[in-house]
Amino acid sequence: MSATPQKNRATRRVLAAAAGLATVGALVAAMPAGAQDRGHGHGHGHGHKPRTVDVQLLSFNDLHGNLEPPAGSAGNVSETQPDGTVKAIPAGGVEYLATSLRTARKGNPYSVTAAGGDMVGASPLLSGLFHDEPTIEALNGLDLDVTAVGNHEFDEGAAELARLQNGGCHPVEGCYEKGKKFKGADFPYLAANVTKEKTGRPLLKPYTVWKKNGVKIGFIGVTLEGTPDIVTANGVKGLKFHDEVETINKYARELDRKGVKSIVALIHEGGAPASTSYNYDCDSPGAGDGISGPIVDIAKGITPKVDALVTGHTHQAYVCTVPDPSGKPRMVTSASSFGKLYTDTTLTYDRRTKDIVRTSVKSANHVVTRDQAKATDMTRLIDRWNKLAAPIASKPQGWISADINGRGSTAPEKPLGNVIADAQLEGLAPADKGGAEVAFMNPGGIRADLVHKASGSEGDGVVTYGEAFTVQPFTNMMNVVDLTGAQLVTALQQQVSGSNQASPKILQVSKGLTYTLDLTKSGADRVVADTIKLNGEAIDPARTYRVAMNEFLAGGGDGFAALGEGTNKLVGASDLDLFNAYLAAHSTAAAPLAPPATDRITVIQ
């Protein structure tokens, strides 16, 4: 999902001063053991290898540094039952993901594990506080073989991404554990469609080839071409992002010339299935009928040389077949987000043609349930980093009377979105703080729910710094700018038009701003212009308004070009500081903050 990058956090990570070197538990991503072939082909006599061998491809995407099980509704997957009812199953957490993957690999001598990007970024405090070193260490322990970059891998810029790949301690905050140096990822990050502006050369490897006993499978990794639209300018400075289809086709030809005929594309772009249940059949009534979104056109354009697509970005779960340009079905998968699912795909490799028998490709998503044994090495990793984070993470910030849903809300107007926008307005309304009259928050920047149940020993209803950070992990600086009424109206229309027409991004608005969203209409008309009011008065197109928003929106991010036209900018405190200040000012143990009403946007369906 689109969201804003992590910046300016150095001053908040007070742990860094006392820290030493960080480590990656030197677990080299070993190729799965076992030499015997399991196949169903010819030549089972002595000394003959079978003609075909089944390669197991395990994949997941959009982990976002969720080492611990995600809290509240963000930690559930939906499963449709035989009677048609939908059940919510708690899932995720790397202790369980490790167990799931290790169990799945048993009896599969040819097994490779790949990911579809956004492994880090927008991470909870446990990972984000340490610039995601804990997550890279966990992925090494999971025996990840390869991943594509996602947009969030660019949140802290190209130099920080290179550090995550190659190791070395943070340039500002140094090493976090005494005597330990961060070793980096022992799997390749692939970024085929990201080049350096100055040289035109790829930023990272475009592809890698996995090999075992003569079996060769090429992996090409790309992120979405639109990454610069959803990451701050600093994060993508000096980089160019290219068309996904053209890039994959180019490198598929190169792999083919090198004799690598079996190819998997890892694509950090996705689609929207017609149902949110992970076990929904999106090939019903026909192949790929149940999925829409950018990945469909991408899949239809990628050369038939590519045998399967592992996708991500939309945080959805699907296993579909979408026809390739020659009309043949090809598997397209995505495993939700936060480590809640993994995909198990069987690729039947023909030793004679060196290609995948596409008609034999089978795929299924599996829930990473929390009723299985925890992987003890992951428990140790989490405990180790939690000890370092504890002095900051456990500090109470405020109290709530019930869950306040943000990420877990599917409504256009989210209760937690209202709290965040109100916090930004309140903090920046004083004349000396910017004189804000209204505040906007991008929905993709709300990364979790505020959950009433205690996450540790703090007690139910207590919001800790760690929980607040998980909701607002980017520590974006706030901006207050001048915008005309006409620009405000245009910005609201951009929620449902232009690049946001197919997949609307509904801004969360502060109290006092009201309007009607008519989803029966199309494009910009969905925002009913004459209903837009501020404190009961119609917006005056000619008047100047002081508008608060984070630096990502103020830069025109998420397709909100009108918000990027602001003038007379004042830079305020960070979004997280304002959020925490609001919790402190509006809640006590005796009078906790209640979920606010969601009555600012009137929705007509």
Note the pLDDT of residue 1: 45
Q: 9 vs 97, which has greater pLDDT?
A: 97
Would you state the structure tokens that stand for residue 519, as one six-digit string? 């989803």
Mean per-residue pLDDT of the chain: 92
- Longest pairwise C-alpha distance within the chain: 86
Would you state the structure tokens that stand for residue 471, as one six-digit string? 């909701």
Note the pLDDT of residue 429: 98
In the block, tokens 């926008």 appear at 421
Note the pLDDT of residue 8: 38
Q: Cα(502)–Cα(402) distance, rounded to whole angstroms?
A: 33
CA neighbor of 479 nearest in space, from 556, 571, 557, 553: 571
Note the pLDDT of residue 47: 58
What residues have CB less than 8 Å from 500, skipping those under 6 apart?
Answer: 494, 558, 559
**pLDDT mean over 168-197:** 97
What pTM, to 2 d.p., does this model score? 0.90
Contact at 8 Å (CB) between 487 and 562?
Answer: yes
Q: Cα(271)–Cα(292) distance, rounded to whole angstroms?
A: 6
Note the pLDDT of residue 15: 35
3-state class (DSSP) for residue 196: strand
Cis-peptide, bond into residue 124, ω within 30° of zero: no
Using 50, 70 and 90 to split pLDDT, how confident is the model at 10?
very low
Residue 24 has pLDDT above 70, yes or no: no
Note the pLDDT of residue 49: 80
SS3 content of the chain, % helix, strand, coil (to 5): 25, 25, 45
**pLDDT mean over 247-266:** 98
**pLDDT mean over 359-371:** 97
**pLDDT mean over 150-172:** 97
Model confidence pLDDT, tens digit, residues 504-538:
999 999 999 999 999 999 999 999 999 999 999 99
For 524, phi then psi, to 5°, come to -60, -25
3-state class (DSSP) for residue 217: strand
Note the pLDDT of residue 42: 40
Inter-CA distances, 532 with 194, 280, 438, 515, Å = 41, 39, 13, 4
Note the pLDDT of residue 276: 95
Model confidence pLDDT, tens digit, residues 455-509:
989 999 999 999 999 999 998 999 999 999 999 999 999 999 999 999 999 999 9
Residue 334 has pLDDT above 70, yes or no: yes
Note the pLDDT of residue 41: 44
